[in-house]
Every structure is written in C-alpha cells, then in structure tokens.
Amino acid sequence: MSIDRAAVDWAAVRAEFPLLQREVHGKPLVYLDSANTGQKPAAVIDATDDFYRRHNANVSRAVHALGSEATEAYEAARGKLARHLNVRADELVLTSGTTFAINLAAYSWALPRLEPGDAILVSRMEHHANIVPWQLVAERTGATIKVADITPDGVLDLDALEAAMTGEVRLLAVTHVSNVLGTVNPVREICRMARKRGIVTVVDGSQALPHMAVDVAAIGCDFYALTGHKMCGPTGTGALWARREHLQARPPFLGGGEMSRQVSFGGTPFNAPPHRFEAGTPNIAGHIGLGAAVDYLDALGMDNIAAREQELLAHLDEEMGKVEGLRVIGKAPGKAAVVSFLLDGAHGHDLATLLDLEGVAVRSGHHCAHPLMAYYGVPATCRASLAFYNTHEEIDAFIAALRKVRKLLA
C-alpha cells in the first residue's frame, strides 16, 4: 500500500484490515471496540506469518542462520518502537503488554525501595493495571496509596494533584489517556511537577499510543508502559521504557535464561538492560508484528491518524447528542476518540448485546476501572471507541442501531 501523507485514502486504509470486511449476525461489522483491542492490518498479520514460515528460531542463543535472522528481526522491532517513542532502544524492555510493564516497574523499582511512611499517588481514572500492582507493593512495603481526584467532566484536577504531592509521596502512577473517559492528561506538566519534588513517575501509555504521536523523552517521566495490541500489533506484546539509571540500578524482576551472563551456584552476574529484564523466550513473532505495526502507523503518520479520529469523534459526539435519554460520561476538552455512555432504562450489558445483534461491537462493563465507576455512581457503562479505520457510515449505523435498541428497551 502506498499512502500519500497529504491526503490519506481512508477507504484504502480500511481495506487493509481483513477482519473489518466480515459480517456479524448477517450484518456488516461495525467495530467500535478498539480501546479494548485494535484490529490488525494485513502487513502485521503477514509479518508474523512470514516469521513462522521462513525465519522461526529462538533469539540470542543459536549461532545458526535462522537464529541470527530471528535475533536481528526481534532487535529491529525494538529499534522501530524506540524510534517511534523517541527513546533509546537499550532503555526499552519488551514485555507482554502494559500489565506486565507496570508490574515490572512495581517489583523491580518500587518493591525494593519503598518503606513504611512512603506513599504512592495514583489518579482516580486509572485502569486496574495501574492500581493493583501498587496496592500489592504497598501491602508488602508498608507504604500507603493516595488518590488524586478528577472533576465531574472527567478532567484530572491538577491543583488537587499538586497538593497531593506531599513529602511522603515517592511515586506517581498516572495514565496518559483514560480508557473510560478518553481524557488526555497533560503528562508533561504532571511529570515536571513530580520531578521538582523528587517523585518518580510511571505513565500508562496504553490508550495514548493508538491515537497520537508520543514523544516519551519530551514527557520527562521515569517509566512509560505500553501495550502492542491496541496499536495494531499482536496480543502479548508491549514495552516498558525506563530511565537508564533505573534500569542499571535495579535488580531483575524474573530470573532465568537471557537475563543472566554466567550462572554458577556461587552467584549469577546479570546481563545488561534491557535483556536483564527479559528472562526466558520472549514473544518473538509478536514483537516482529509490533515492529510492522509501528511501520504501518508511521507510514500513515500519527498526526494524520489523530486528525482523522478527531473528525470521526466530532461526528459521533454530534449524533450521540441527538439520541434521547443518552448520557455521555467524560467530557474533557481535547479528549481521545473514546466515548462512555449510559442510556436511560437500559443496562449496559443488555444494550451491548442488542447492539451486537445489529452488527455493532461496543464494550460494556466496568472497563477495569472500578474506582472510576464508583465516582460516577454507576456499576458499568457502554463504551464506543474509534480508530482511524472507522467510517462516518459506521457511526451512522451505530446511531441507527442505538435508536432501534432504545425503542426495544422502552
């Protein structure tokens, strides 16, 4: 596919995603669940397929030709992702996704350091993956958890956040983009505030990477976690970027092959980062696929993607605004293309099930964000999330289905 950056042919782009051509319950699929997992272009599927068909071998072990091809392709993928994030490849630990990445920061940085009297600050809008690891660390170290609140519109209250950065806070865990509200947090400003006070920052980039260009170096955080499957890559891929000093100084999280240099029963010197933190055989094919996803996104241009999604979001917002009895949760200015909503008299799961019968895939539930649901006083919401491969026609089909379902449930 050749894409003219100045005028992307979005219909041609969409045609690159085989799954989007299928039907569900006899209706054309309208996939509005990309915040859950993104669909994959043929280029990504082909890259993993090609690895298994032509190059499959383990990395960093075998001296034979296939072994070096596999290692080269795996390290090339790391390099692509590093360039995409504007960081050094040797500071990028490849993981199975954000959950592993945050746990890696929690167990290798926080667990050996925190003590009773220390505090970990998290925002109200975090995914469970950026709450529970910190609770586990707090339990084992005697540290406490503090919560930075949001406004009813779903905006992180920066004054309250700054006020919460008191002397005992050692670490701040904050999401770049909320998976429920779509709120884009000003992480650069937040990390600057934290850094001034010596607070280490962990940014969850899961929902940012699919939607916008992210310059991790410019953000100024200490750790940046991401997951590959939401940015057109395969499942079971992702990364943790960490400042060099954190990687150099830290003990490994998992022990095993690849992370050690010379094992003896007297002791084991560890490999240099990032391999120190990649014990065992990694998801080689998956990360090669993630490298292809990065190439794909870079060829499209993240600014083009962001502009396309904002245009789709404006249409979605406008049309949802016309549906009676519909309430949107999360109205932060400049939000990403993620819309949580409630419909009067309808339970989220019923709504999502009936929409599915119309071919429309939306997510319903708590979105792994119980504390946020509690803040809004709801057990669950429905969520429509867009990607650049969606169309105006799909949004219209979703709205028509919503109106039909609303009548059914009335």
Mind telling me the catalytic residues?
368
Binding to ligand PLP by residue 133, rule CB under 6 A? no
Binding to ligand PLP by residue 385, rule CB under 6 A? no
CB of 178 to ligand PLP, least distance (A): 7
Nearer to ligand PLP, 8 or 221 (CB): 221
* C-alpha closest to that of 107 among 310, 303, 255: 255
Structure tokens at 341: 């909503």
Q: Would you give the binding string for ligand PLP spanning residues 214-233, x where CB under 6 A is met?
A: -------------x-x----
* C-alpha closest to that of 17 among 401, 402, 394: 394
What one-letter code names the amino acid at 376?
A: Y
Q: Could you tell me if 91 and 247 are in contact, meaning their C-beta atoms sit under 8 angstroms apart? A: yes
* C-alpha closest to that of 125 among 173, 162, 93: 173
- Enumerate residues 269-298 that contact ligand PLP by CB under 6 A: none
CB of 370 to ligand PLP, least distance (A): 13
Stretch that binds ligand PLP, among 63-71, 96-104, 182-190, 297-305 (CB under 6 A): 96-104
207, 304, 381, 390: residue in contact with ligand PLP (rule CB under 6 A): 207
CB of 162 to ligand PLP, least distance (A): 22
Q: Is 367 left (phi over 0), alpha (psi -120 to 50) or beta?
A: left
- Enumerate residues 141-180 that contact ligand PLP by CB under 6 A: 175, 179
Stretch that binds ligand PLP, among 70-78, 204-212, 246-254, 395-403 (CB under 6 A): 204-212
Nearer to ligand PLP, 173 or 284 (CB): 173
Nearer to ligand PLP, 214 or 397 (CB): 214
Nearer to ligand PLP, 100 or 296 (CB): 100
Nearer to ligand PLP, 129 or 401 (CB): 129
3-state class (DSSP) for residue 168: coil
Stretch that binds ligand PLP, among 95-103, 116-124, 151-159, 264-272 (CB under 6 A): 95-103
55, 127, 363, 406: residue in contact with ligand PLP (rule CB under 6 A): 127
* Number of residues near ligand PLP (by CB under 6 A): 13
* Cα(30)–Cα(356) distance, integer angstroms: 9
Dihedral of CA 151/155/158/164: which sign? positive
CB half-sphere exposure, 89, CA atoms < 13 A: 10
| DSSP-derived secondary structure letter, 59 | S
Distance of CA 306 to CAs 226, 260, 303, 334, 337, Å? 18, 41, 5, 11, 9
Structure tokens at 27: 């209706």
Binding to ligand PLP by residue 237, rule CB under 6 A? no
Please name the residue ranges forming H helices in 86-215: 98-105, 132-141, 158-164, 187-196
* Cα(60)–Cα(391) distance, integer angstroms: 43
38, 97, 286, 291: residue in contact with ligand PLP (rule CB under 6 A): 97
Kindly give, in sequence order, each residue whose CB lies less than 8 Å from that of residue 364, ignoring residues fewer than 6 positions away: 348, 349, 351, 352, 380, 381, 382, 383
Nearer to ligand PLP, 231 or 247 (CB): 231
Binding to ligand PLP by residue 129, rule CB under 6 A? yes
* Cα(216)–Cα(208) distance, integer angstroms: 11
* Cα(322)–Cα(331) distance, integer angstroms: 16
CB of 154 to ligand PLP, least distance (A): 14
Binding to ligand PLP by residue 99, rule CB under 6 A? yes
16, 91, 204, 309: residue in contact with ligand PLP (rule CB under 6 A): 204
Nearer to ligand PLP, 48 or 99 (CB): 99
**Residue carrying the six token digits 């609770």:** 135
Binding to ligand PLP by residue 106, rule CB under 6 A? no
The contact set with ligand PLP (CB under 6 A) reads 97-99, 127, 129-130, 175, 179, 204, 206-207, 227, 229
